[in-house]
Amino acid sequence: MSRIAAAFERCKGEGRLALIAYLTVGYPRLDVTPELVRVAAASGADLVELGIPFSDPLADGRTIQAASQAALRGGVTVQRALEAGAAARGLTDVPMLFMTYLNPILAYGTQAFCRAAKEAGIDGLIVPDLPPAEATELRRHARESELELVFLVAPTSSPDGISAACSASTAFVYCIAVTGVTGARQFLDPAVIPLIQSVRRQSSLPIVVGFGISRKEHLDALEGHADGAIIASALLDEISKSPETAPEQVARFLLPLRRLRRR
């Protein structure tokens, strides 16, 4: 059983959502990224999503864009992100996935990237601007490297689009909670529950909800529907309040959420 599957099985056995923390590689500094992964895992994150910064992040809102720009100014490249992932793997066994756009993968070389990610201890990939119909090459090389793939569906996805994402995903299916880009929000879009139900009818994989998840009420609303939730912009916002004490900020934000998930 893969690390990702084992994490979801453990959460299912404990009767709670899997808590997935998103961190931008290189934010607030590249040298602190591995420690942030370790602290996130120690503070209750069941999986960690590592965003590789990109200059044109179409799916990301203001918070992740700002973190990505800061990381790029700090000299983060795909190679350095791979090295940070390997360093993080030396500190924790938590499942880790890279979230990156297609262009950085193509520039590095799809096969080479998949192999390097696996060697770095990465368990899966999320590529938000790559639809399943255009993912043949990445799917082949990911399979060869034993990397799992995650595809996204949204409330605006067509039935065919949902079916394609369910068929192509191997780790979990990522349901976008809102229409638009990432960013913390006060309320979840009520359309996310019917979306989860639609995915559930077509896939036995875990279902994870992201985009806008930021508070206890969001997690409560997903109980009994989804299998996991991704905390992204809200966590980066917390880090931005005190970048010099980023590990403490991560722990302070995640610990209460994890405790609230226990039954």
Torsion sign across C-alpha atoms 148, 172, 139, 36: negative
What does the pLDDT read at residue 34?
Answer: 98
Q: Which of 9, 14, 31, 49 is catalytic?
A: 49
- The conformation of residue 187, written as its DSSP 8-state character, comes to S
Q: What whole-number distance in Å separates Cα of residue 191 and Cα of residue 171? A: 23
Instruction: Choose among 240, 172, 245: nearest CA to 206.
Output: 172
Instruction: Tell me whether residue 156 is exposed, middle or buried, using C-beta atoms within 10 angstroms of its C-beta: 0 to 12, 13 to 18, 19 or more.
Output: exposed
- Domains of the chain by start residue, with CATH: 3-261 (3.20.20.70)
Contact 55, 177 (CB under 8 A): no
Pick the closest to residue 231 from 18, 6, 7 (CA basis).
18
pLDDT confidence of residue 185? 47
Rounded Cα distance, 136 and 119, in Å: 22
Which pLDDT score, from 0 to 100, does residue 169 have? 98
Q: What's the whole-model pTM score?
A: 0.93
pLDDT attached to residue 59: 63
Q: Please confirm, yes or no, whether 237 is among the known catalytic residues.
A: no
**One digit per residue, pLDDT tens: the chain, 263 residues?**
899 999 999 999 999 999 999 999 999 999 999 999 999 999 999 999 999 999 876 767 789 999 999 999 999 999 999 999 999 999 999 999 999 999 999 999 999 999 999 999 999 999 999 999 999 999 999 999 999 999 999 999 999 999 999 999 999 999 998 654 444 445 676 789 999 999 999 999 999 999 888 888 888 889 999 999 999 999 999 999 999 999 999 999 999 987 655 44
Measured from the Cβ of residue 213, the count of other Cβ atoms closer than 10 Å reads 31
Say how far apart CA 227 and CA 174 lie, in whole Å.
Answer: 10
Q: What are phi and psi of 16, to 5 degrees?
A: -145, 165
Q: 229 — phi, psi (to 5°)?
A: -140, 140
Per-residue pLDDT at 183: 41
Q: Note the helical H segments in the chain.
A: 3-13, 33-42, 62-73, 78-89, 102-108, 110-119, 136-144, 159-168, 192-202, 216-222, 233-241, 246-261
What totals of helices (H) and strands (E) does the chain contain, helices first?
A: 12, 8
- The predicted pLDDT at position 217 comes to 85
**Which residue in the list 60, 123, 227, 237 is annotated as catalytic?**
60
Alpha carbons 101 and 169: distance in angstroms, whole number: 16
Residue appearing with tokens 């696996």: 118
Burial 99-127 (b: 16+ CB within 10 A, else e): bbbbebbeebebbebbebbeebbbbbbbb
Contacts of 150 (CB under 8 A, 6+ apart): 97, 124, 125, 126, 169, 170, 171, 172, 173, 174, 208
Active site residue 217: no
What's the confidence (pLDDT) of residue 178? 67
